[in-house]
A and B are shown apart, each in its own frame.
Chain A
Amino acid sequence: MADAFAAYDAGGISDAAAVERTLAGEREAYRVLVERHSAYVYRVAYRMTGNSHDAEEVVQEAFLRAYQKLQQFAGNANFGTWVYRIAANYAIDRLRQKKNEDARREVPSRAAEGESESDPLEKLKDTAPSPERLAGNAQLAKKMQDALDTLTPAERTAIVMRHWDGCAIEEIAAVLKSNSSAAKNTVFRAVQKLRLALRPFAEGRGAARAVGTES
C-alpha cells in the first residue's frame, strides 16, 4: 500500500501513511502530521489554557510526546484524535501544576491579610459585575473567560472536551483518570460555576430562579 503514495508529495499522504513512514525512520514524514494537526490542537490548547503562550507550549509538547509514543499509536482511530488526547493530558497536568504554584504564592499573602479559604463559587458571587457591564457579546466573552479561569483544571478540561469537541464522557474520564460518573459530575460542576458567574447577566434578562433551588 505504501507504494501507492509514491507519486505524492509529502503533504499529500494520509495520516496513516505518514505514521508508517515515520516509524520506518523517515523523520520528515512526521512534519506532515505536525503541519496538518497543529492548528486544531492549538485551538483546543487555547481553550484549556486561556492564553496563546501556554497554548503554543502545549502544542509543541503534545507533538514531541506523540513522536516519542508513536509506536504505541496502534491506529487509535486517527492521529488527530490521538494527539488531541495527548495535548489534553499535558494541558491538564500543566494547569494543575500552575494552580499549585499559584496557591503556594498566594497562601502567605492571604494569611497576612487575614483572608480565609473561600469556595470558588462564593468568589464568583463576590466578583460578579453588574448586568450593565455585561451588555454585548464581547463583554459576555470576557466574563466567560474570567469564569473559565476560576474552574479547576479538571473542570476546565472537562467542559472544553465536552462542549467544544463533543467528546464522550468516557473519553473525558480517560483524560481525567477518573470514572464516567465522576467525569459527568465534573462537567456539571463546571457548568454550575459558569452559570453562577453569568447569573447577573441572565437575571438582567429576566431570570429569577436561583441556581440549584427547588420550590
Chain B
Amino acid sequence: MNLHFVKKAAALLTLLLPLAFSSPAQAEVRIDITRGVVEPIPIAIPAFYGAGGNEAQFGRDIAKVVTADLVRSGLFSAVDPKSFIQDRDSLLVAPRFADWRVLNAQSLVVGRIEAQADGRLKVEFRLWDVFGEQQMTGLAYFTIPNNWRRVAHIVADAIYKRITGEEGYFDTRIVYVAESGPGTARVKRLAIMDQDGENHRILSDGRALVLTPRFSPTLQEITYMAYYNNRPRVYLFNIDTGRQEVLGDFENMTFAPRFAPDGNKVIFSLSKGGNSDIYTMDVRTRKVAQITNSPSINTAPSFSPDGKQITFESDRGGSQQVYTMSANGSDVKRISFGDGRYATPVWSPRGDLIAFTKQQGGRFYIGVMRPDGTGERLLTEAYHVEGPTWAPNGRVLMYFKDIPSGPGGRVKQAHLYSIDLTGFNEREVQTPMDASDPAWSPLIP
C-alpha cells in the first residue's frame, strides 16, 4: 500500500516537473541590432577651471587644444560652448546631467588647473558619461607651464582611449620634407612639427636633397635618404643633438629606409646594376644582412609590428606589386592582385592592415588591405597622392598630394592630408610651405 502510494506520487511528480521548469513566467524580447549610424560623438569640453587669471587662461587654452584634437579625429564633435547651461563653478561640484543631455552631449570633460607652490601646474580632468551619469575616468598631471600644450594632447589621448578603446595619437609629431623654391631649383629640407601643426621646426639646412624620412620608435632618431654630392644614401639624424651620419658606407645607392619596430635595425634597399634588394643593418653594430636576393627590383620594405614579417614592393612577377615575406626573407607571397600597380606598402602599427599607393588609369590612390591581400579598399584618389604613413594607433593615415596649379597646371603644390581608415574625415594638415613625404612618430613617452 505504502509502496503503491509512493509510486503514484512519483508518477505525478514526473508529470509536473517539466512544467515547473519549462514555461518561464517572464517572457523576454530579443532584438538584434545589425544596423547603426556612424557619426561623431558629441562631447562638451568647457574651459578648464582656473582660480587665478593665469590659470584661467591656461584652462581656456588647454580646453581648446583638447577639443581641436578630438574633433580633428573625426570621431567627436564639439558641443558649442555658447550653448552650455551649467556654469563652471557649479560644474566643479558635480555635473547636472540633465543640463548636458538637452544639449545632446554624450560625454562631458570637466577640468581644473591649479598653480603649485613650485611653479608647476596641476592639470586634472574628469570624463563623464552624460547618459549613464557616471564618471568614466579622472586623471591629474603636473607639468611646467611651458609644457601645457603637450599636457593638453595627453588629456585628449586619455579621453580618446577611454571612449574608443584605442590608444590615442595626439601626443605625437610629424617629420616631413618641406619644399620651397621653383621647380628647377627645389629646396627640400627636413622639418618636424606636432601632429596638429604646432611647434614647427626646420631640421636640415637645405644643401642636400632630403627624401623619405622615417621615425625611429625611440623618437630621437630619424632615418632618411639624402643626396650629398650627388650620392644618394641613407642617413641617420639625431633630433636632440642635430648630428647626422651616413648609414653604412656602401658603394651603391641606398634608399627607402625604415626602422624595425624595436628601433635596433634599419631596413632599406640597395641598388646594384639595375636591380635592388632589401637589406637590414644593425644601427649599433652596423652588421648588414641581405634579406632578398632576386634579379628584380625589391624595395620599400616595412616591418610588421611584431617584427616577424616584412611587406615590400617588387616587380619580380612582371609588374609592380606588393608582397609579404618573413623577416629572414623566406616565404614570399604576393598579396596585391587588383588592376594597376601597387607600391610603398606600410604595415599598420595595429598589425591588421597594410597601406599602399596604387596607380591605375592615370590616377593615384591610397588604399589599405589585410596582410593576406583581402579586403582591399581605396581611401582617397588624386592626380598624384603618395607616401602613406600610419598614426601610431593604426587608425589614421597621413600622405601627401600634389595639387596642380598655375598656368596649365604646371606648378605642383604638395600638401599633407590625413584620413580615417574608414575612408572618411580627410583633412589637410597645415604646413607653412609645401610639404611631402610625411612620417608619423610613435606616441611620445
Are A and B genuine complex partners?
no
Q: Which residues of A pack against B, CB within 8 Å?
A: none
